[in-house]
Structure 1
Amino acid sequence: MKNWPVQDAKARFSELLETCLKDGPQIVAERGAEMAVLAPIAEWRRLQQCARPSLKESLLAPAARGDHVVPERGRCRRREPS
């Protein structure tokens, strides 16, 4: 993967895109710190698919599915019915 400074990425976006499609993901850096990655759409979709479990995996998982954190109520009270 090649690092592209933000200024170069903005000025030469077409080249950045072509390089991404030809050579794979490209990193965009700002002041030397890596900030973003430009990746081909097929790679992005593959990563998204791997990141989320299927419905079958979710239902068969040993971990509880219903553990939701309920926030505390504020100081406001309910209105009394008239």
Structure 2
Amino acid sequence: MRWQVQEAKQKFSEVLRHAEEEGPQVVTRHGEEVAVVIDIREYRRLRGRQPEFRDFLLEQHEEPDDDFALEIESIVAARTADLPRQVDLGED
């Protein structure tokens, strides 16, 4: 079902009920799709279990040695200090 933003705000409980019972609810603004309300079970299914970045890197090596593990730890430490950055996708 599709909902305009104003209607979705006014009938939020109904939007949630429809998401639980009928599936994804699309929210539009000025005719453009801007959001989807989905049941939490569907969200969890779609999200799945995502390994931590560190664990993912370590799993790529059959038997990581201590030096490799220390290098991964330093990469992860540097990565967590970074702020999100803007990415230029070349779209205007």
Same fold (TM > 0.5): yes
User: Structure 1-normalised TM-score?
Assistant: 0.61
Which structure's relative contact order is higher, taking Cα pairs within 8 Å and 6+ residues apart?
1
Higher helix proportion? 2
Identical pairs, percent: 37
Number of corresponding residues:
67
What are the superposed Cα offsets for residues 3-40 of structure 1, whole Å, 9 maximum, x if unpaired?
A: 11001101111111111110011111111111111111
Question: Hey, which bits of structure 1, 4+ residues long, moved more than 2 A?
Answer: 52-62
- Matches of 1:25 and 1:3, distance apart in 2: 9
Q: Which residues of structure 1 form unaligned runs of 5+? A: 72-82
Match status 1:9 vs 2:8? yes
Q: Write the mapping of 1:22-41 to structure 2, written as runs, cut at 5 A.
A: 22-41=21-40
**Which protein shows a greater Rg?**
1
